[in-house]
Every structure is written in structure tokens, then in C-alpha cells.
A and B are shown apart, each in its own frame.
Chain A
């Protein structure tokens, strides 16, 4: 009876979004009379940071400061249609829709500014801090604040735009069954080191090293945060979490926070993450969806590390001490 160490590796390809029935998101962008940019969505920010990322994408496209953009995730009854926040699709699908809406709104904004500056809209550029000027003549300028006022009260224009991003439904080819069920794959690879006590079946994850390829990191700090949290969730899926420990029987399922197991701050593995950026061709500014992908490779990596440590292959999650001990016993008996 001893504590045995093992190391395991796993790699995943993970799709962004799904399109089994078509995968649309729509967005509307408009300016207030004082040049605030409103993005109306029915896409939900459930804590992952969608509002921040969409504000950055809109600001970049419109040529305005990020803090001039307000994201209204409003109401799924009244907002533009979105399939929802799932399948790691938020940044990619919503971002693409917002780019299209912001481009249309920017065009109106430049047309109004062009009237005010007596210039051609194609000769204008934005400075990103709230002004529009004639290319090569920054003294011929107008603020976005004044442009919006002029649009509303003088020109009768609406600085606004409509955006739509649709991944059309994919049908399988009759002969081969080949189809395109998803787009824009993110990738990850994880190496896990574990220590397994072959007397108690307990597993400690000593270290977890992850490499994530996520397209362009639009907000590097938020990406890092999501990946670190995701890596921990992957360990949690591998070793702790379940509502039905004896599935399909419902017996002994956790009934509250006390009984639903997750690793706490005292159970953390030494965690490393590395981010590779290979901008995607169809993503907003090259982004992919790392949300769920980042919590997946730890599971097979930990399972492989346990196999390496004690020679039993557990294919049911979570890998509890009981499952390890039963597998060890079975191997002895064989």
C-alpha cells in the first residue's frame, strides 16, 4: 500500500457554437443624442464577461472609446433574436453580429460628420477617443458628441445599424453522412500529475499544465481568468462533481451545497496555463470560443495520469476513491 505518482496527457479540439438547425444571432446598435453607443442584444451575460467583450468589439468597429458603449442585454422577449449563451458561442456569434451592426452605424455617423465638415465620408477617420477628423488634417474635426447632436436635431438621421450572423443549417451528405455541425475549433492540451493512494483510492492532483489555442485573446486578462477557472473546473469534473454518483440510480446524490463536492481553495493543483493565439478566419477580430473547451482536457489527462499511477482505467466520471478501489480489487481478482 503506497502513494503512487502518475502523469497523463490529453488534447481536445472544441467547436465554437453549433448549427444543427442553423445558429443565428442578431444585434442592433444606435447612438443616443449625445453620442453614447447602445448595443441592444438578447444575448445573456451570465458572468463570463460577454458585455465587456462586446463593448470592446463595438468600440473597435465604430472607432469610439469602449466606455462610450453601453450593452443592453435587455429581454429575450423584446431584444433582437439570439440563440443563447451556450456552446461557447457568445463572443463569436454575437461579436460577428455586432461588427455588422456597428459598421452600418459607423457609416451613418461618418456621413453626418461629413456634412458637418463639408468633406467626403470616405476621407474621414475616427481617433478612437471620441472624435472624427479629415484624414491628414486633424484640425478639421468634430466630436462624436456633436455629430450625434447634429444627426438628431439637424439632419434627422439615426446613427444606427442592424447586425446579423447566421451559421446556416448543415445537412449531412446522403452518401457519406459528412456534414459541418460546428465552426471554428479551439484547441487545448493538458498534462496532469497525480498522486493516487492505492489504499484509500484518494487522488491528489499535484500539478496541471495547460496550453490553450483560442484564436485572438480579445481581453487577455479575462481570457486568463476564464482559463484558470476552467482548468480547475475540469479537475472538479474529473474527480468531484456529480448529482448522481450511482447513475442511473439516483441514490446518494448530493442534496445541497454541503453534499455537492467540488475542490475548495485548499485542494488546488499547481496550475499553469499558456495561451497560443492563432486568429480564426471567421471570428470577430480573430476570436474563438474558449469557454467550455478550457474545462475539458483536464478530465482525460487526469484519467490517464491515474492509469499511469496505479494501472486502472476508469471510464466513469467522477473518478471517486470508490471507483478506483473497486477497479484495483477487480484487477487483483483477475
Chain B
């Protein structure tokens, strides 16, 4: 097989809320079944997370609430500072520098130019009192496009792509349905053709029919644009539909990784077996 460098290499990523101590990682995790350090009472949201992600791949991260899957993505998108660990991103300094250790300005650059994020809650990803077009414009402006005509053309293109009616472009997403808010978020995330997109529980809380439409859209865009994505979900159905590979997380640790069909058909870890057997 021709060897190619991963787009993203994450090594021993950890995020600890609280003072932290030397025993934090040893007394938490799936074996003890807790996130809380019994010595210093810090919360170990995730620890020791390592993985490689290749261009064009869709990696799923699955686990129950509190397993640390969202924290993982928040650290990689700089919403939350990682406590320890390294991440090398091919699109940033050719993957030679640990992006978790770079300056705030550089992090902002990476976020705006090289990454896209779709949050579970549109309020987090959208400014609801900016118009739909304005929300997309924010990304484009952050990337230095100061031409209203160009911005509107690109915004229209993206909204069309994400199946948002063009006449809604100058309306406030505050008055949109949940599904449409999510589609605007996706359009915004894709505004600068980022090499890496994060999807954090994007369909949770939507009606099933709307959920299906959003998922189909993501799948369609992924194929069309060759997106590389990390998909966070507690829903194995979403994971099955979207991803090629999966990390299974529990109590802040990765307990199992594998091909998506393998994880679903032949889970190895006791927790994964429980998770799969709990599928509806």
C-alpha cells in the first residue's frame, strides 16, 4: 500500500478540569468507571487519546454522555484548552508543529481557515441575530474576503448546497426550524473549504424525518467535496451511516477502535458490546 501521511495525528490528548494531580489519570477511566479523581477531585474529561485521521476519511467517535467525546473535539477545535497531549495537522505547518501549543492568533487562524465545526446546538455555532448570509459571511470575512458581492455569491452557493432556500439568506436563523438552522451551520462550516470538519451530535434533538434529511445532506456533501470529518455521536445509527472508522470512548478513554462495520458486528470491549446490544 502506498504510505501517505495522516491529515491529523493526535497523541495522548488530555483535558482535565480542576487542579489535576499525579494520580488523576491512574484513578479514573473505564476500569474505575469514573471521571473524577478521588485524590484531587478534578474531572478527567478525556486522557490518553491518540489516533490518526487520513484525508477523505470519516472517523466516528461514539460513547455515552460524559465519555469525553465532545471534549475531545472541543480541544481540537480550540473551544477548550487541552491539558496535555499533541496534535499535528497536515494543513498547518505541514504537520510539523503541535497545533495545541501554538499561539492564540494561530489557533484562530486554524479555526477560521482550516477547520469547520457543526455543533449540536445551533446557538453555539450560529449568531442567531445575524442573518443566515451574515453567519456565512463571518467565516469569509475572517478569512479576509472584503467584497460584499463575492461574499453573497459564495453564501448563496453554500446555502444552495445545503438545501436552504435562497430567499432565507437575509433572514435571521432565530426564526428557522431546527433542521434548517443545522443546514445553515453546515454551510457556515464549509464556507472556506476547510480540510477538516467536526460534527458534534448534529442530528440529536431533531425529528427523525429532519434527522434523515440532514444526514443524507452530510453524506452527499462528503462524497461531493471529499470532506474529512470527525463525527461525534451517541447514536450508532448515525455512526453506521456516516463513518468508516470508529473510536469508542468510555469515561474519558478510548476503549476500542475499529472499522465501523466491525465495531457493530464484532465489538471486542465489554462496553462496546453493551453499547451495540443496546441499539434499538
Are A and B interaction partners? no
Q: Which residues of B contact A (CB under 8 A)?
A: none
Q: Which residues of A contact B (CB under 8 A)?
A: none
